[in-house]
Amino acid sequence: MKRLRRLASWCLYASCLAGVADACPVCDTDTGRKVRAGIFGEDFGPNLVVTLAPFPIVLGVAAALHFGLSSRGTTGEAHRPIEGGGG
């Protein structure tokens, strides 16, 4: 049991020293700086736009369904809250 615990501690210590852990975008290492430069370089704006691109379309579809289906078949109780329910 003691040996197992010592082995686990050693593995944890070794993983902290591993080079891969130093590659994060906020790490102050050579690889970290390259990652940061790759993310926040001149392509940041275009990359942000292409990442965001599908979301406004999906939101537009949801808005169209919200208001489009609301206008059909409403029977005059619109926006009246349920008595004692829903907050």
Contact 34, 24 (CB under 8 A): no
Provide the mask over 15-54, with x wherever binding to other proteins is found by CB under 8 A and - wherever it is not.
Answer: -----x--xxx-----x--xx--xx---x---xx-xxxxx
* Closer residue to other proteins (CB): 1 or 58: 58
Q: Is 62 in the site for other proteins (CB under 8 A)?
A: yes
How many whole angstroms separate alpha carbon 14 and alpha carbon 58? Answer: 45
DSSP 82: P
Q: Report, in Å, the least distance between residue 41 CB and other proteins.
A: 10
